[in-house]
Amino acid sequence: MHSQQVTAEPPSNDSVERDSTADDVPGVLRSPASGADRAPLVFDVIIAGCGPTGATLAAELRLHDARVLVLEKETEPASFTRIVGLHIRSLELMAMRGLLDRVLQHGRRRPAGGFFAAIGKPVPKGLDSAYAYLLGIPQPVIEHLLEEHAIELGARVRRGRAVAGFEQDDEGVTVELADGERLRSRYLVGCDGGRSTVRKLLGVGFPGEPSRAETLMGEMEVGVPREEVAAKVTEIRETHQRFWLRPFGEGVYSVVVPAAGVGDRAEPPTLEDFKQQLRTIAGTDFGVHSPRWLSRFGDATRLAERYRVGRVLLAGDAAHIHPPIGGQGLNLGVQDAFNLGWKLAAQIRGWAPETLLDTYQAERHPVAEDVLDNTRAQTELLSTEPGPQAVRRLLTELMDFDEVNRHLIEKITAIGIRYDFGEGPDLLGRRLPDIEVKQGHLYGLLHRGRGLLLDRTERLAVGGWSDRVDHLADPTAALDVPCVLLRPDGHVAWIGDDQQDLDDHLSRWFGTPAN
C-alpha cells in the first residue's frame, strides 16, 4: 500500500506538541527528512470503531490533548435497545471523570449481587465502594453518552468510514479507508469489535473456543397477564437458566431463550423462531407479538495473543470475546481504554518511560484471561446436564459464605483487580475507592486524568512532575497509609513516606521530570 494521498484535517487542539519541521499545513506533524516520501502525521491516534471502547479511549486521549480521530463503519448509531449492566468499577471510572451523574439519569440501579451465573444471592457485605450497585442502561444510550463526552473534549468522530487497511513504519501508521482515502497518524487502535479488521490485518492470533450454544434475545410484547408470565418463568428457571422473560416497561419484555434448532446462523431470527423456542421450553409462546428488535448471540470465547504490534494496538471486543453471562464485555472494554489512554497519551507527549506502553498488555491481558475463565465457568453452571447442575447446587451453598459471594462479585465488578507492580502492601496495584478527602471526594480530583499524590504527611513533593501529577497534602484523608501515588486510572502505583522512594516511582510511571 502506498501513502501519497492524505487528507489533511486541522488539529482539534492547538496545545498538542508538534514537530518543528511542520510547515505549510497548519498544525500538521511532518515526518522527518528520512521519511520525506511519507504523508504528514495528521493525527496522533486513529481509533477504528466508535463503540463504548473506542469512544472512551478517545475521551481519555483528549484529556491529554492528543489529536484523535475515531473512524466508525456505521453511518448511524445502533438502534436496538439491549440493556447492559455497568458494574461497580465502570461506575467508579465514570465518577472519576465527572460523567456519573449524566449516566445515572439514563439507567436503573439494581443490587450489586446475584449475577454470578444468575445464582440468586444477596449483595455480599463489605463491598468497598461508594458505587456498590449495578446500573442497567440501554447500550445505545451509554454509547451515545461516551461518544458525546469524547466529542465535547475535542475528539473527531467520522461515521460511515470503515478502516480497510493500514501500513506501519517507524514513524507512524498510514490507514486506508474502505473508500480508498488514506490518513496518517502516529498510532492506530483497533476498537472495532469481535470481528476486528485491525486484529485480522495485524495477523494477531485469536485462539479460543468457537460458539457452542446459541441464544435468542429480543424485546417484544406479550399477550398474557404479567402474573402468568412470572409464574411460568419461575417454574422453568428451576432447570433452564438460559431462559427469561423480564418486564422492561410499557408492556415490553426482554426475552431470552436457547436457539438450539433454530436454522441458519447467518439469517436474523424471526418472531416465529422465538415463538417456536418458547413453546418447546415453556409449552406456551406467551402470545408474544410486536417485536422491537430480535437478535442471536453465541458463546465463543477468544483472546488476542498480543494487544500491541508496534504502533498498532487492540482494545475491547477486538482483543477479547466471551459469552455475555455476568455482563462484563462492555465493562472490560471501557476499562481497557482507561488503562491505555494515559499511557498512549504519555507516549505521544514524549514523557512516557520506555516500557510504559507495554504495561498495557502486561496488565490487561491477564484481566481478560480471568474474565474469559469466569464466563467459561458460568456457562457450565447454566447447563441443564446433571453434573453441572450438581456443581451449581454446591456453589449455591458455598455462596452463603459471604467471602465466597464477595470474591465472585468483586471479580465480575472488577473491583477485585490487583495489577502486579511488584512486592508491596496489598493495596499496591489495586484501585483506590472514592475515599473522603478535605475537598470532598477523591474522585472529584481525578477529572482531568492526571496522576495524584495523596499525601497525609504534608512533607512530600511532586517537583518536576507537577505538569502531569497533582499533589494533595491532606492529613485528614481517609487512608491508613501515609501516602499514595495514584495513576490516572486510579490504581495505586506507590505507597510510602520517603521522598527519594517517591521520586523513583514518579520516574517509573511518569518519566523524566520536566525540570
Q: Is 113 a binder of ligand FAD (CB under 6 A)? A: no
H or E element at residue 373:
helix 358-381
Name the strands in the sheet holding 133-138, side by side, starting at the edge strand that comes first in the sequence. Answer: 83-86, 133-138, 108-111
Residues 6+ apart with CB under 8 A from 410: 127, 416
Shortest approach of ligand FAD to residue 89 CB, angstroms?
A: 11
Q: Which of 44, 60, 65, 72 binds ligand FAD (CB under 6 A)?
A: 72
Q: Decide: is 69 part of the binding site for ligand FAD (CB under 6 A).
A: no
**DSSP state at residue 330:** H
Site string for ligand FAD, 153-172 (x = CB under 6 A): ---------xx---------
Alpha-carbon distance of 261 to 244, in angstroms, equals 18
Minimum Å gap between C-beta 403 and ligand FAD is: 25
Is 241 a binding residue for ligand FAD by CB under 6 A? The answer is no
- Residue 269 in the binding site for ligand FAD (CB under 6 A): no
107 binds ligand FAD (CB under 6 A): no
- C-alpha 114/C-alpha 399 separation (Å) is 10
Helix extents (H) in 5-135: 52-62, 88-96, 100-104
Return the residue of 11, 40, 52, 496 that touches ligand FAD, per CB under 6 A: 52
- Give the whole-angstrom CA distance, residue 379 versus residue 398: 18
* Long-range Cβ contact pairs of 231-239 (< 8 A, separation 24 or more): 232/282, 232/284, 232/286, 236/281, 236/282, 239/384, 239/389
Q: Is 48 in the site for ligand FAD (CB under 6 A)?
A: yes
Number of residues that bind ligand FAD (CB under 6 A): 32
Long-range contacts for 391-395 (Cβ within 8 Å, ≥24 apart)?
392/117, 392/119, 395/117, 395/119
Binding segment for ligand FAD (CB under 6 A), chosen from 18-26, 70-78, 232-240, 384-392, is: 70-78
If binding is defined by CB under 6 A, does position 433 make contact with ligand FAD? no
Rounded CA separation 183/376 (Å):
40
* 135 lies in the site for ligand FAD, by CB under 6 A: no
User: Binding ligand FAD by CB under 6 A: which of 35, 165, 327, 416?
Assistant: 327
Q: Which is nearer to ligand FAD, 324 or 449 (CB)?
A: 324
Distance CA 163, CA 45 (A): 13
Q: Which of 66, 133, 14, 56 is nearest to 317 (CA)?
A: 56
Give yes or no for a contact between 117 and 241, defined as CB atoms under 8 angstroms apart: yes
- State yes or no: residue 147 binds ligand FAD (CB under 6 A): no
Nearer to ligand FAD, 52 or 488 (CB): 52
Closest to ligand FAD by CB, 46 or 485: 46
Angle between helices 226-237 and 271-282 (to 10 degrees): 60
- Around Cβ 32, how many Cβ atoms within 10 Å? 12
Comparing CB distances to ligand FAD, the nearer of 49 and 496 is 49
Tell whether residue 317 is a contact of ligand FAD (CB under 6 A). yes
Closer CB to ligand FAD, 19 or 370, in the complex: 370
Q: Which of 193, 269, 451, 511 binds ligand FAD (CB under 6 A)?
A: 193
User: Cβ 84 to ligand FAD, closest distance in Å?
Assistant: 4
Binding site for ligand FAD (CB under 6 A): 48-54, 71-74, 82, 84-85, 139, 162-163, 191-193, 197, 217, 297, 316-317, 324, 327-331, 333
